[in-house]
Structure 1
C-alpha cells in the first residue's frame, strides 16, 4: 500500500488500510521508529497485548542482578 506526503507533511491512509485497522476520523496513531528507514504505525486504541514485540530486543541480555543494581543506582541519583 502506498501513500504520498503532501506539501503540509500530511498523508492520507488508503481506505483498505483504514478498514483493516478499524480506523475512523479523529482516531489517534502512534509512530515508532523500528529500524533504519522504517516506521511502525500503531492505532492508540489497540489493547496493550497487541503491542508486544514492536520494539527491538536489546543486543545483550541483562541479568536480574544487573537490573537490580541499575534500579538502585537510579534511585540513589548517582
Structure 2
C-alpha cells in the first residue's frame, strides 16, 4: 500500500506510482469521490471534451427544449 503524509496546511503529495497510474501531472485536476462512508476514490479530471465524444448514445428521436424543460421540472417535483 502506498501512503503519504498530510501537511499542516492540509496538503498531500500524491506518490509517483499513483500519479503515473492516474495519468496526472503538474497542473492536472483530481476529484475526490466518496464511495462509502469514510472511503474515497481519487479520479483524474484531466480529459478533454473531445475524448468524451461518443460516450452517450444519441436519442432515438430528437428532443425539443420544451420536452427537456418538462422532464427537468418533473424530476425536480419528484425530489421534494
**TM-score normalized by the length of structure 2:** 0.57
Q: Which residues in structure 2 correspond to 1:49-64 (within 5 Å)?
A: none
* Structure 1: 4+ residue segments shifted above 2 A: 45-48, 71-75
The aligned residue for residue 40 of structure 2 is 39
Matches within 5 A, 1:1-78: 1-46=2-47, 72=74, 74=76
CA distance in 1, matches of 2:14, 2:33: 17
Gaps of 5+ in 2: 53-72
TM-score by length of 1: 0.58
> Closer, same or farther in 2 for the Cα pair 1:41/1:73, shift >3 Å?
closer
Larger Rg: 2
How many residue pairs get matched? Answer: 57
Secondary structure in structure 2 of the residue aligned to 1:74: helix
